[in-house]
Amino acid sequence: MTSTTRDKVHSEHPSVRSFTTEWDTPEMMKFLQNLGKSIMLPVAVLPVAAILVGIANWIIGINDDQPNVVTSFLQTAGLAVLSNMALLFAVGVSIGMAKKSDGTSALAGLVSWLVITSLLAPTSVMTLLGRGYTTSIAEQGADISAGQKLVMDNGHLAIQTPDVNEAFAPGAFQNAFIGILCGIIGALCYNRFKDVKLPDALSFFSGRRSVAIVTAGVSLIVALILLFLWPLLYSGLVWFGEHIVDLGAVGTGLYGFFNRLLIPFGLHHALNSVFWFDVAGINDLNNFLSGEGTFGVTGQYMTGFFPIMMFGLPGAALAMYTTAKTTRKKIAYGILLSGAVSSFFVGVTEPLEFAFMFLAPFLFVIHAVFMGLSMAICQLLPVRMGFGFSGGFVDLVLNWKNPMAENPWIIIVLGIGWFFVYFFVFRWVILKFQLKTPGREDDDPVDDDGEGGASTGFIGTASKFIDALGGKTNILELDNCATRLRMEIDDTAKVDEPALKRAGAAGTMKPGGHSVQVIYGLNVQFVKDAMEKIMSGEVDPTTVEAAVEAVDEADAAVHAAEEQAEDQGGDTAVLTKPDTKVVTLQRPIPGYAIALSEVPDKTFASGMMGPGLAIVPTSGEVVAPADATVVTVFPTGHAVGLRLTDGTEVLIHVGLDTVKMKGDGFEPLVKAKDEVTAGQPLINVDLAKIEAAGYPTVTPVVVMNDKTATVEFS
């Protein structure tokens, strides 16, 4: 929807404006999902710290537990990351939650961190509250922390400490919670003020230059609020952390259970931050890697991941493979093997978990229960281990010599047991309840409706879509990606899905709240443009439809004449379409293949867009999978449609929801109507930007014009 159209709708319908600014449940869920994804950006730095500290610990172990210059160098570098995690959260979250961030949001997050932590430093709080110092005799070897002073008192060395609440001590205040809060402030200020226009006299400060200034002002207000609120929040967080620890194995098990259960919603990262970092005083991950925790305790919120990730999930993969249909074992093998290897070596479980998460939710609940049990069992046993990235083989080896590691060999013994538990339980449940795990899915149904009911011409289709969506005033926002219309609808009950189908839609999705998506195909942009023209009054659909019908009649007459000429010539071309067509393609982007059903997007996963496969990319060059003609390159560069030499139409869609990036991170190298050869570069993609923006990089490759086709990668 254009801004003019939207303003018109708002002016005519005040309730629409209230809806667009309301903070409803779907918006809250979206906010939390974005927050969870944003947290992963600073967390991605941790493997560097883990490697440096891990190598140093191995050298110390080999050198009779004696550190040297090399180990000191490596440990100092690694601990520099760990000791500044709160600052990294402030910068990373501000980048991840910003819309199309260009670095300005990172500066805003940093400004917020500097303002808030400076204003609420012990000496500043003391001044603001009119407090003084408390004096205590300095003991031999006592350390002087930030805000304290060493003075002479009656001939004795004494330490003066600001008389403020313990919540404002440097170690208590400069934690991950405050870092995340500063990151959110920076991102919100960036999203709101990056396009602001000031009067000519102040035009230098317009746009992005205003963001840091506004952020400083907002942070000043937040700091004043925290001056009185933070002691209460801090006490609550400490209480929560202490009570979770007091629950022992039960608390650890509950954490493991909900850690897995929140994965489909993308909220597990937010939960992890409470236990792994200094949000509620637990700080399990940092304490383990730095070696500053309590031996036999530190690592209890990480140890239980190792047996499941390294052994349990590979056992589940084997169970799913052995129960796959014979005709689909080859496809299942590739999916499950790559997922099992990823889980074992680096602890990346999502490729395997998404293989059955939506196809067999009951299995995923069982998996969550097993994770909780593993965490609880490891908490009870004399075994402790931690990681810098995840619970895989690489982290196990790196941290084997960590001073906080306790009996790591027990992990392997437990893991072997979990392998068999997962294998037999998953196999029995799959066969007992006939679950549709990878390799056991039903064949994609063939739509026999054809295209007879589809609207003729983009204006005609757009007009019917508008009617089926409840009319112009029911459409609050209108946008599109490579194949779908994305809309905000005032009253979703007015959406007529059968009418949309008759008008040419392949399907309709309702993600939640007022969001509606209509799946159309590669020409969706033209339908969206036509809808905007109709809604703005630029085009009268009734007049256009009459013209379209006349053109269609003329086309039909031409085709009839051509057919008659062919009949008279005696040569008739007969096209026999096989029942099942195998489309063999080169991988259009480096990475490992997964089933389309694993894609965390119902439109692709359900096969609504057509059959195909997907790739989890490892680098960002998209190439032609076969000799073809470019049908369309989406304006934002995130998708390309090809017509192969045999007429097969293939869509390559880089990432999910990446249309929202507005082209940032995508560089198209071809244009519509270009002839390309297999292996020719089509798009350069910055995968890091996609991940930083919080979108999955999973790349579906689907056949658009043959629902019976089977896609294979050579």
| Structural contact between residues 338 and 351, judged by C-beta atoms closer than 8 angstroms | yes
| Structural contact between residues 679 and 586, judged by C-beta atoms closer than 8 angstroms | yes
- DSSP H or E segment with residue 643: strand 639-644
Q: Torsions phi, psi of 395, nearest 5?
A: -65, -35
Find tokens 């404006």 and name the residue.
Answer: 17
Q: What is the rounded CA–CA span in Å between residue 366 and residue 315?
A: 14
- Bridging pattern class, strands 699-703 and 612-617: antiparallel
Task: Return the biggest CA–CA distance within the chain.
Answer: 120
| Structural contact between residues 399 and 54, judged by C-beta atoms closer than 8 angstroms | yes
| Structural contact between residues 576 and 666, judged by C-beta atoms closer than 8 angstroms | no
Q: In 3-state terms, what secondary structure has residue 685? A: strand
Q: What is the rounded CA–CA span in Å between residue 105 and residue 101?
A: 6
Angle at 240 (CA atoms; ends 38, 411), nearest 5 degrees: 70
- Tell me which DSSP letter residue 563 carries: H
- Bridging pattern class, strands 591-595 and 515-519: unpaired
Q: Which of 174, 214, 177 is nearest to 192 (CA)?
A: 214
Four-residue CA torsion sign, 50, 54, 55, 57? positive
- 189 is a catalytic site residue: no
**In this structure, what token pair is assigned to residue 215?**
């952020």
Alpha carbon distances (Å) from 43 to 82, 86, 526, 602: 10, 11, 41, 28
**In this structure, what token pair is assigned to residue 254?**
């509950």
Reported residue count of the chain is 714
From 182, 189, 378, 481, active-site residue: 481
| AA letter at 652 | I
Residues 244, 247, 250, 255: what is their CA dihedral angle, to the nearest 10 degrees?
0
| Structural contact between residues 649 and 642, judged by C-beta atoms closer than 8 angstroms | yes
- Tell me which DSSP letter residue 358 carries: T
Q: What is the rounded CA–CA span in Å between residue 40 and residue 314?
A: 25
| Structural contact between residues 212 and 107, judged by C-beta atoms closer than 8 angstroms | yes
| Structural contact between residues 460 and 544, judged by C-beta atoms closer than 8 angstroms | yes
Q: Torsions phi, psi of 45, nearest 5?
A: -80, -20
Q: Torsions phi, psi of 653, nearest 5?
A: -115, 105
Q: Helices (H) and strands (E) in the chain — how many of each? A: 27, 19
- Bridging pattern class, strands 149-153 and 133-137: unpaired
**In this structure, what token pair is assigned to residue 286?**
């940092």
Burial degree of 341 (CB within 10 A; 0-12, 13-18, 19+)? middle
Alpha carbon distances (Å) from 162 to 12, 131, 681: 59, 8, 63
Residues 599, 600, 603, 607: what is their CA dihedral angle, to the nearest 10 degrees?
30
Q: What is the rounded CA–CA span in Å between residue 357 and residue 89?
A: 30
Active site residues: 481
